[in-house]
Amino acid sequence: MFKKILIANRGEIALRVICACRELGIKTVAVHSTADEHSLHVRFADEVVCIGPPRSAESYLNVPAIISAAEITGADAIHPGYGFLSESAYLAEVCEACHVKFIGPSPHVIRLMGDKARARRAMKKAGVPILPGSDGPIDSEDRGLRVARELGYPVIIKAAAGGGGRGMRIVRAPADLGGALRTAQREAQAAFGVGDVYIEKYIEGPRHIEFQVLGDHHGHVVHLGERECSIQRRHQKLIEEAPSPALTDRQRRKLGGIVVDAARAVQYTNAGTFEFLMSASGEIYFIEANTRLQVEHGITEMVTGVDIVKEQIRIAAGERLSFRQGDVALNGHAIECRVNAEHPETFTPSPGLVRAFSVPGGPGVRVDTYAHTECTVSPYYDSLIAKIMTHGRDRREAIARMRRTLEMTVIEGIHTTIPMHLRVLDDPDFLAGRLSTSFMERYQAAQPPGSAAAAASA
Ligand code: MV4
């Protein structure tokens, strides 16, 4: 087992990794920017290295600074958390060259899944249902038009190097295809340095369902069920739940088995997520795989009892998975609300000094946060300040616990998205489990109270 792990991240996820290391008896090294000098991940790590100024590009994304910190402190592994360098095949390669274990999949698998068009082919070959679409990159308007005619409109053009919603174009008629193709290629080139795009049949208002897997270095792969992440806005998830209210036990077993076989086929190791879209008529299609720990991993931990971060560390150290698929039982229901330092109606960032911070505990409540009274929310990083998770015997109980937890949470000095969450938790469609990625569009239409638009429509 490792003796010392460097955590190449900040905020609540750096603290989450520290929790796992402490339970495993592993020393920790925190790295931080000058903006995070007083943060809790710095306080609770055994050793600390300042790696640069506030801007991420010069600190949390600075590979030479992070590798140097690992070498200076004698860390034998690096946990990248999520975001930042967590899906960098380059960091994983540099780690290999420096004989520091990267806690994640191999550089080869990170690169495979990072190219969404290649990942699509690999999953198709492994027997995973994928969306009807092009077999490879589309490089001409002629080919694009032919593929789109076969698929039927609408279609969606996606950047091979994209993911998470960046570099996508929906095309509803042949006349728009050429322009959309050229724009998508240009945007992909500018954003990712690779202009390749591919085409899929476009699914209107789907559900977003993702399977959590773990694979060790001895050929064992298990899945931990799925999460439903349909409540999102501009590709930022707001509320997630496990399991999905839309899957039957039978579908879960079948799809889980397919995902496990596919992960084994690509020699997937460590934690990973296989994302699917479910159409209104209930068809399920693979869209992409994430090769990192995800923000929403905690709700899967609540329903399975598996500590995913500890498993990641054990797997990277070469240990065997300590349980088999048959040992995984889903217990009850869990929900996560991402509390962001943002205005609840306009979603504009609200950094600053948190004058008071108090979240209740009680049965079935878990809070992963870096926040505390008198902390500051930095404008330099993402606005997630707390993940409030609740568990119940069933979905209703999990929701009731979430409502009372949010109602009894006190955060003063900044705006948070808690009022938005409380509105969603009262929504009849939400309560009935009628979810889709279009769900939040009606909340976007709502005007902030006191605004000119609200006054005009009153
Ligand atoms: C799609 C789609 C509809 N049809 N692909 C957005 C992020 C990226 N992971 C894939 N995305 C989508 N791909 C086809 N063929 C709709 C989306 C999509 C979406 C997917 C998951 C969660 C939220 C979303 C919000 C808007 C669009």
Full pLDDT tens readout for the chain, 458 residues: 999 999 999 999 999 999 999 999 999 999 999 999 999 999 999 999 999 999 999 999 999 999 999 999 999 999 999 999 999 999 999 999 999 999 999 999 999 999 999 999 999 999 999 999 998 899 999 999 999 999 999 999 999 998 777 779 999 999 999 999 999 999 999 999 999 999 999 999 999 999 999 999 999 999 999 999 999 999 999 999 999 999 999 999 999 999 999 999 999 999 999 999 999 999 999 999 999 999 999 999 999 999 999 999 999 999 999 999 999 999 999 999 999 999 999 999 999 999 999 999 999 999 999 999 999 999 999 999 999 999 999 999 999 999 999 999 999 999 999 999 999 999 999 999 999 999 999 887 555 555 444 443 33
Closest CA to 60 of 44, 76, 83, 77: 83
Q: Which atom of ligand 1 is nearest to the CA of 155?
A: 15
Report the C-alpha gap between 391 and 412 in whole angstroms.
26
Helix (H) or strand (E) holding 401: helix 395-407
Ligand 1 centroid to 69 CA: how many Å? 38
The preferred substitution site among 155, 291, 437, 444 for testing ligand 1, maximizing ligand atoms within 8 Å of CB, is 437
Mutate to test the pocket of ligand 1, among 168, 227, 294, 296 (most ligand atoms within 8 A of CB): 168
Instruction: With H, G, I as helix, E, B as strand and everything else as coil, classify residue 48.
Output: strand
CA-based nearest residue to 119, from 149, 80, 162: 162
Atom number of ligand 1 nearest to Cα 131: 15
Instruction: Specify the pLDDT at position 165.
Output: 72
Ligand 1 centroid from CA 262, angstroms: 21
pLDDT confidence of residue 443: 85
Query: What's residue 457's pLDDT?
Result: 36
Residue in the structure block whose two tokens are 């690096």: 78
CA distance 86 to 81: 6
Distance in angstroms (rounded) separating the CA atoms of residues 138 and 183: 13
Cα 167 from Cα 163, distance rounded (Å): 8
Q: How many A from CA of 275 to the centre of ligand 1?
A: 10
**Catalytic residue positions, numbered:** 292
Query: What does the pLDDT read at residue 456?
Result: 39
3-class secondary-structure state, position 378: coil
The answer to whether the CB of 202 is under 6 A from ligand 1 is: yes
pLDDT attached to residue 445: 56
Q: Which two tokens stand for residue 205?
A: 């208002």
What's the gap between Cα 14 and its chain centre?
15
Q: Which candidate, 330, 316, 323, places its Cα nearest to that of 220? A: 323
Torsion of CA 15, 17, 22, 23, to 10 degrees: 120
Query: Which residue out of 87, 204, 230, 235 has the highest number of ligand 1 atoms within 8 Å of its CB and is therefore the one to mutate?
Result: 235
171 pocket-lining for ligand 1 (C-beta < 6 Å): no
Q: Whose CA is nearest to atom 19 of ligand 1?
A: 437
Q: How far is the CA of 177 from the centre of ligand 1 (A)?
A: 18
Q: Is the CB of 152 under 6 A from ligand 1?
A: no
Structure tokens at 316: 């990277």
Contact 440 CB / ligand 1 (< 6 Å): no
How much distance in Å is there from the Cα of 308 to the middle of ligand 1?
A: 26
Task: Select from 134, 138, 156, 281 the residue to mutate for testing ligand 1; criterion: most ligand atoms less than 8 Å from CB.
Answer: 156
Q: Kindly state the helix (H) or strand (E) to which residue 241 belongs, with its residue range.
A: strand 236-242
Ligand 1 site, residue 156, Cβ cutoff 6 A = yes
Query: Which residues are 228's β-sheet partners?
Result: 209, 241
What are the beta bridge partners of residue 276?
209, 286
Q: Is 114 in the pocket of ligand 1 (CB under 6 A)?
A: no
Residue with CA closest to ligand 1 atom 24: 437
Beta strands 4-7; 27-33: pairing state: parallel
DSSP, res 203: P
The model's pTM: 0.96
- The span from the CA of 29 to the CA of 51, in Å, is 12
Give me ligand 1 centre to Cα 165, in Å.
6
Residue identifier of the C-alpha nearest atom 7 of ligand 1: 165
